[in-house]
Amino acid sequence: MNDSAMARSWVEHANGHRDFPLQNLPLGIFSRQSQAPRCGVAIGDAILDLQRVLELGLFDGLARTAVEATRGGALNAFFALGTAARVALRERLLELLGEPGEHRGELQAALYPASECQMHLPAKVGDYTDFYVGIEHAKNVGKLFRPDNPLLPNYKHVPIAYHGRASTLRPSGTEVRRPKGQTLPAGHTAPTFGPCARLDYELELGIWIGQGNEMGQAIAIDEAAGHVAGYCLLNDWSARDIQAWEYQPLGPFLSKSFITSLSPWVVTAEALAPFRCAQPPRPEGDPQPLAYLFDAQDQASGALDIELEVLLLTPRMAQQGLAPARLTSSNSRSMYFTVAQMVTHHSVNGCQLQPGDLFGSGTLSGAESGSFGSLLEITEGGKHPVQLPSGETRTFLEDGDEVILRARCMRPGVASIGFGECRGRVVAAN
């Protein structure tokens, strides 16, 4: 086995790669030329075609079972196999792609430049639930509406979420059509209908559910981490004006369901293991989690240390040859509940989770300016425009604007890994 923290790959461009060194090995679904979509693993700037490697006879046992489960162009059946199959596949890929590369001659034919491939959603998502566990975002947004009492009384007890729309999940790169809907313009007493005027992004982590549970059987907190297959970036595009008018009393509806963008690579729970950390202690005076949400191990190592960022590229910036401007830099440690707590809470009433279900974390903002994960927070509801290097300003997104989410994990003595990108460019309403 070749799982040491700084092991090298014979795929030279993988070594020191910003996102996809040997230690990451994220899984995704890609197609090339006229091939049907199939499972691949990102290694440097290339994609290894696992179907092809299977045909070469280079997988045995559980690793072989894992790759066979990806036939059909979706990872649901692979996710359903759970942790042991994922680990077996990872260990075999570390052998195949690590130095010295006993099979490199054969494997060269199964490696394609990523730039020649198209990425798809990694799984067929049955259900998508968007949480709200980024406490700084909840406070920042709450302050806009309730300056003295930003968090509602349930926030520190219940992992808040709403059921999102699985049908409009799309991979990075899909254009974002400005939605139309009902809004109540300031000073008006009756709504109008038209294109959204306050289009926003939300910087979130996506969480892929692995093995599910039977309906009626809750997932215990000490088993919850074993039900998570991996992670991606998620942009919960939000129409703030539509949202403000529709959200009471049942929460977001059409303001969130026009598109949700995902980065296409599933960064596995195993790849993220070196970047686990303790859940930050709750401030003095905050309630402790109820017993069904408390596990000492989860508190000790159930949080994630992932650096997150949002960049914006306007058409004028692109024309002037300017690089995308960073609007946000934050970290996933701002989650008030762990992912295990989210899984347990979601199933505690007997709700069934299924392989390939997707959770959003909620917007991951920090407490300081520069770390806010949405324009709503950055501009304080549109009051303070953002200055861009082109001399332009923005309160909310304009047609042609491209939003890019990135994420990276870093720790001394361990190879850094990244998530790739989650991009989307806004196009005019129909």
CB of 312 to Ca ion, least distance (A): 18
DSSP 98-162: BSS-TTHHHHGGGEEEGGGEEEE-SS--S-EEEE--BHHHHHHHHHHH-TT--S-TTTTTS--EE
Tokens at 378, concatenated: 């950055």
Q: Is 377 in the site for Ca ion (CB under 5 A)?
A: no
CA dist 381 and 238 (Å) reads 13
Ranges assigned E (strand) in 6-131: 27-32, 38-43, 46-49, 111-113, 117-120, 128-131
Residue whose beta carbon is closest to Ca ion: 236
Asked about 13 being catalytic, the answer comes back as no
Tokens at 228, concatenated: 């998570």
**Binding window for Ca ion (CB under 5 A); candidates: 188-196, 213-221, 235-243, 307-315:** 235-243
Q: Which is nearer to Ca ion, 24 or 261 (CB)?
A: 261
Q: Which is nearer to Ca ion, 44 or 179 (CB)?
A: 179
Three-state SS at 80 = helix
User: By CB under 5 A, what part of segment 152-181 binds Ca ion?
Assistant: none
Q: Which is nearer to Ca ion, 344 or 363 (CB)?
A: 363
Q: Is 136 in the site for Ca ion (CB under 5 A)?
A: no
Q: Which is nearer to Ca ion, 252 or 420 (CB)?
A: 252
CB 138 within 8 A of CB 231: no
CB 52 within 8 A of CB 110: yes
Show the site string, 89-118: x = touches Ca ion by CB under 5 A, - = not: ------------------------------
Q: Is 357 in the site for Ca ion (CB under 5 A)?
A: no
Q: Which is nearer to Ca ion, 48 or 364 (CB)?
A: 364
CB of 236 to Ca ion, least distance (A): 4
Which string of b and e fits 9-42 if b means at least 16 CB within 10 Å?
bbbeebbebebbbbbbbbbbbbebeeeebbbbbb
Q: Which is nearer to Ca ion, 183 or 374 (CB)?
A: 374
**Binding window for Ca ion (CB under 5 A); candidates: 11-19, 24-32, 125-133, 348-356:** 125-133
Q: Please select the residue that binds Ca ion; options are 202, 298, 357, 377, rule is CB under 5 A.
A: 202
**Binding window for Ca ion (CB under 5 A); candidates: 36-44, 129-137, 218-226, 398-406:** 129-137
Q: Is 236 in the site for Ca ion (CB under 5 A)?
A: yes
# of chain residues touching Ca ion (CB under 5 A):
3
**Binding window for Ca ion (CB under 5 A); candidates: 126-134, 207-215, 287-295, 394-402:** 126-134
Dihedral over Cα of 147, 132, 173, 256: its sign: negative
Given 13, 17, 120, 137, the catalytic residue: 137
CB of 196 to Ca ion, least distance (A): 16
- Integer angstrom CA distances of residue 273 from 166, 231, 335: 28, 12, 17
CB atoms within 10 A of CB 194: 12
Q: Is 127 in the site for Ca ion (CB under 5 A)?
A: no
CB of 301 to Ca ion, least distance (A): 26
CB 28 within 8 A of CB 265: yes
CB of 313 to Ca ion, least distance (A): 22
Tokens 């400005």, residue located: 178
- Integer angstrom CA distances of residue 69 from 25, 80, 82, 269, 354: 17, 9, 12, 18, 16
CB of 415 to Ca ion, least distance (A): 31
The DSSP output letter for 253 is S
Q: Which is nearer to Ca ion, 130 or 241 (CB)?
A: 130
Q: Hey, which residues are catalytic here?
A: 137
Query: Which spans of this chain sit near Ca ion (rule: CB under 5 A)?
Result: 130, 202, 236
